[in-house]
Structure 1
Amino acid sequence: MSTTLRKPEILNIARREGKVTVDRLVELLGVTPQTIRRDLTELSDEGALDRVHGGAVLPSSTANIGYDARRQLNQAAKVDIARACAQQIPNDCCIFLNIGTTTEAVAQELLRHKGLLVVTNNINIAVILSANPDVQVIVSGGSLRRSDGGLVGELATDLIRRFRFDISVIGCSALNASGDMLDFDLHEVSVSQAIMAQSDNVWLTADRSKFERKAPVRIGNVADVDAIFTDQPLPEDCAALCQVNDTKVTLV
């Protein structure tokens, strides 16, 4: 198994079991202890795991994992989620795409759309969509978060409030059993809340890893969104809220 495949699997195991040990990973992945130790060191350097004697544990729930690690986590599922989401976005409408690796995947799936006006606070999305001459892209401005190309702060929210979006596609860092959408950065949450307030339809993209994580800052609840795109059935209470509030759930 290559490093590209191994590291996301190690993260999946860590999220499922709360920690990983070198001996256990050697058994599961069929590689040498030296290879596992190198993988764990790299994941620790990326902020995805904290190294401990004999293995690694998940980092604090008050800090997000590194951007590169997030991009690798459940990558195939994110592409499927993005494709399902993009297929429901019509041509000739105004949309917002916010910060996140899954929303970046949505942008990639919009490269054949026409007549879109896309507003974003994600520099990576702007770069992706620059390849489509039939899409007009407006970047929000704001303070640059160098770790992931996100733009946050009052400049971002001020521009967002000048628009009315047909659809906003948002992500979150965690989705708990009660349906609360959570994140790590208070400034990013403020931007997400402004986006939701200015949108006729709010769509959440969230792969299964979000059900296993914790984050300290509340964005809102699934009751506040119109559609959810995911790759695993929602937690029971969360699913019940969606039914009560007619939130459409698309499972890929």
Structure 2
Amino acid sequence: MITHSHRELELLSVLRRLGGSARNADLAKALDVSEETVRRAVKALSKSGAVARVHGGAYLVGAQGDPSFFRRIAQHEDEKRKIAVAVAEHVEDGMCLFLDVGTTTAFVAEELRGYARLTIATNSIGVAQALVNHNGNSVHLLGGEMQQDERGTFGSLTEAQARGFAYDLALLSADGLSSSHGFLYVNASEAQLGTVVGQCSDKVLIALDHFKFEKRAPYRGLTLDEVDFLVTDVPPTGDLSHRIASAGVEIDIASRDLNEAQND
């Protein structure tokens, strides 16, 4: 039988109260302890299988605490971190940005915490939590129907509110990139929202790792001709490379060492 410490039991209780998942910073605030204390407790709980650790937080292992978002964010974590650093270099203080619910975008949000006076519209709970109350940022969480697996809002209300902003840069993700169909999504609502946001943005940047090259998904989003920047970790090849070049998309390969970037 596994025996948990008092602190670990408290953390489990807070996770349940917060819906099964939370950032370390939110757990620390709720428990009135340091983030380092939270990290130690999460590490111990993860060894027992009670929780799973993800970038900047944890979630309960089980039917309701184990949504697909958290399983996906733990996949290819190093590549996503590297891409996030490169994406942040396209951002300047004072910009108006849109960030979607993608797992790579969650890493991007963490990289943007050092920027100031950003106006951020997002349909992602995690992005809003990461950026609110930092450096004079104005964060707008769009309304709409909540989808648990994506930790975000979608639908006609979300799209209508998204149209109310004039974005300097839209930071989007995708589930696949096809040389013949462009950016593809598992979720039809996510594909539609990305298209709406793209129409309201001066520039569109899509961040995705190379594992999604030529990966199929049922719903079409933006075409390559509608995107300005592609940030990824490995150069595309073959037909995909030719199609990206012919569309005039600028490719940014996130090849810098993470420790080097953090020391800049």
- Per the TM superposition, whether the score is higher than 0.5 is yes
CA distance in 2, matches of 1:234, 1:69: 25
- The two structures, once aligned, show a CA RMSD in angstroms of 1.7
CA positional deviation for 1:84: 0.5
2:99–2:122 contact (8 Å) kept in structure 1? yes
> Among 64, 79, 82, which residue is 1:80 paired with?
82
CA positional deviation for 1:78: 0.4
Aligned residues: 190
Give the TM-score normalised by the residue count of structure 2: 0.68
CA positional deviation for 1:153: 0.3
Within 5 Å, which residues of 2 pair with 1:88-167? 88-167=90-169
CA distance in 2, matches of 1:238, 1:214: 13
Corresponding residue for 1:185? 187
Within 5 Å, which residues of 2 pair with 1:170-209? 170-178=172-180, 180-209=182-211
Q: Structure 1, residues 55-97: CA drift from partner, whole Å, max 9, x if none?
A: xxxxxxxxxx922221111101101101101012011110100
Task: Determine if the alignment matches structure 1 residue 237 to structure 2 residue 256.
Answer: no
Give the TM-score normalised by the residue count of structure 1: 0.71
Q: Structure 1, residues 95-119: CA drift from partner, whole Å, max 9, x if none?
A: 1001101111111000110111000
Q: Structure 1, residues 227-246: CA drift from partner, whole Å, max 9, x if none?
A: 00001111422222222232
Question: Which letter does structure 2 place at the counterpart of 1:147?
Answer: D
Question: Which letter does structure 1 place at the counterpart of 2:164?
Answer: R
2:69–2:151 contact (8 Å) kept in structure 1? no
Question: Which letter does structure 1 place at the counterpart of 2:79?
Answer: A
Question: Which letter does structure 1 place at the counterpart of 2:184?
Answer: L
Q: Secondary structure at the match of 1:78?
A: helix
CA positional deviation for 1:171: 0.4
Higher relative contact order (CA 8 A, sep 6+): 1
CA distance in 1, matches of 2:166, 2:133: 25
Corresponding residue for 1:66? 68
4+ runs deviating over 6 angstroms: none
Q: Secondary structure at the match of 2:191?
A: helix
1:223–1:241 contact (8 Å) kept in structure 2? no
CA distance in 2, matches of 1:111, 1:225: 25
1:179–1:223 contact (8 Å) kept in structure 2? no
Give the share of equivalent positions with the same residue, in percent.
Answer: 27
